[in-house]
Amino acid sequence: MIPPSELESAGLTHLHSGKVRDLYATDTGHLLLVASDRISAYDHILPTPIPDKGRILTAMSVWWFSALAGLVGNHLISHDDELIPDVWRGRAMLCTRLDMIPIEAVARGYLTGSALIDYQATGAVCGVPLPAGLKDGDRLTEPIFTPATKAAVGQHDENVSFEVVARRVGEKTARRLRTVTLEIYAYAAELAAGRGILLADTKFEFGLHPCSGEMLLADEVLTPDSSRFWPTERWPPEPGRTISSYDKQYVRDWLTSPASGWRRTSSMPPPELPEAVVEATRRRYLDAYEQLTGLRFADWPGPASPVPDDQHG
């Protein structure tokens, strides 16, 4: 963190810290989103950071914002503006301040995660009925819109139906959310598949421009934090086997394994991540970026994140 005196001299005011990002207001009326190396799982911020994670998330978001510009506008102004302090170079984005829509706009092309749990209980996901007999990792006949309400840090996002979204934000906005979410998913899934990655599901955040009212893509987009990326050559998974991924599912799986000694139902916070888990997670994020974009992360600007002392073996 930058000392308050330095923030003030840089014209920045801290507004909010989420699970991963810290949000600052600039004296120009914009927002600065700073992606940390924090990682969250099961509604907990884990005690061990993943080196370079914030820079990888920012690099991916900047690339995708550009790639999606023909489909939908976004809040990104610059990732290398002079307003960004050097210590945050490569992990911060200067953005337009939007009136955020309080909905996680989720698209799913495959059945897994919370959608699988809902399906096993009801035969549907967010009110969308699905065929009987589907298993973890199965491809859906067509992608579906499965929104969720945004939760505070430490709380769990709740899957809801389209009708709930319409009541909360209005029918017109809800329909626009669904249409744009599925359009982005279709475009991104096709692009990723051509590069050896299946986009199983992803979530977006949108906001309205305070002057024009235009709905814009915001926050991060199509990163390993907000998406499930699966290697095409390892799908479908063998029965009873964990689905291989380029995202933080690796951390979730370790946390729920006997090796962690932690239970999700426990009142205790999650443990520190072992060095091997930290490095394997970093490698998955890095591979996702380089395979999807065709770029070298080594060429991305900004100072590299040091590995914490207790992660040096």
pLDDT for 193-204, tens place per residue?
Answer: 999 999 999 999
Phi, psi of 233 (to 5 degrees): -75, -10
pLDDT at 67: 97
Residues in the chain with pLDDT values less than 50: 154, 307-313
What is residue 117's predicted lDDT score, i.e. its pLDDT? Answer: 94
Q: Decide: helix, strand or coil at residue 298.
A: helix
pLDDT of 228: 95
- What integer pLDDT is reported at residue 241 of this predicted model? 73
Structure-block tokens of residue 130: 């699905």
DSSP 194: T
Q: Establish whether domains 10-97+255-295 and 99-249 are of one fold.
A: no
The whole-number pLDDT of residue 151 equals 62
User: CB-based contacts of 22: which residues, under 8 Å, 6+ apart?
Assistant: 1, 14, 16, 33, 34, 36
Instruction: For residue 115, give the DSSP letter.
Output: H
Helix (H) or strand (E) holding 205: strand 197-208
Structure tokens at 161: 């139906």
Which residue type does 95 have?
C
Residue type, 125: V
Domain 10-97+255-295 has CATH 3.40.50.720: no
What integer pLDDT is reported at residue 242 of this predicted model? 75
> Hey, where are the domains in the chain?
10-97+255-295, 99-249
pLDDT for 313 equals 28
Q: Which CATH class is domain 99-249?
A: alpha beta
Which residues touch 91 (CB under 8 Å, ≥6 apart)?
A: 34, 35, 36, 54, 55, 57, 58, 302
pTM of the model: 0.92
